[in-house]
Amino acid sequence: MGRLMNIDKRNIEILDSRMVEVLKTKTPQQRLAMAFDMWSFTRKQLINHLHSTHPEWDDKKICNEAARRLSHGTIRFT
């Protein structure tokens, strides 16, 4: 049984102890590939969502909006 974690309710990025053990077995390259795959999946899902909720938007506007959302607003398009 793993030790209990002191959970700070302001931090939502706490890993389960079992996931920590899995990630310890991965190389840095494998962990980076996993992170990229998750980001890529999220981007595809967001683009599909934007297409379905804004059928009037063209592909450029969809991609720009996805980039804006994924960058938390740090990327701005005019």
Give domain status of residue 5, yes or no.
Answer: no
Give domain status of residue 64, yes or no.
Answer: yes
The Cα 73–Cα 57 span in angstroms is 19
Give domain status of residue 67, yes or no.
Answer: yes
Give domain status of residue 23, yes or no.
Answer: no
Give how many domains the chain has, as a whole number.
Answer: 1
Look up the domain containing 46 and give its range.
29-78
Give domain status of residue 6, yes or no.
Answer: no
Give domain status of residue 34, yes or no.
Answer: yes
Who's near 26: CB < 8 A, 6+ residues apart? Answer: 34
Two tokens at 31? 């962990």
Digit-by-digit pLDDT tens for the chain (78 residues) are 456 666 667 767 778 899 999 999 999 999 999 999 999 999 999 999 999 999 999 999 999 999 999 998 888 776
pTM for the complete prediction? 0.71
Give domain status of residue 11, yes or no.
Answer: no
